[in-house]
Amino acid sequence: MAGGASLLQQIRDFLADYRPQRISQDRATPAAVLLLLYEKADEPYIVLTRRTEDVEHHKGETS
């Protein structure tokens, strides 16, 4: 990202016109996603984790 806008500013610009929409589904399960982004030495990074083999669902998957 050297020489350009910061990661945070790029995200702000991208989402500036975003308007959430309701989705009507009788069986929909409420859920959320957390995306951890950070900059180090002007480079963007994302934090990923790997699920253990001890969880009930999605063993070993990246989350």
Q: What is the pLDDT of residues 7-54, one digit of tens each?
A: 888 889 999 999 988 888 888 888 888 999 988 888 889 999 999 999
The residue segments making up the domain with residue 55 are 1-11+32-63
State residue 28's pLDDT score.
82
Asked whether residue 26 is domain-assigned, the answer is no
pLDDT-based confidence at 3, cuts 50/70/90?
A: low
Angle among Cα 35, 42, 6 to the nearest 5 degrees reads: 65
Whether 40 is in a domain gets the answer yes
Reduced to 3 states, what is the DSSP secondary structure of residue 58? coil
- pLDDT, position 58: 92
37 in any annotated domain: yes
DSSP 16: T
Residue 4 resides in a domain: yes
pTM: 0.57
Report if residue 21 sits inside a domain: no
Residue-level pLDDT at 4: 64
**How many domains would you assign to the chain?**
1
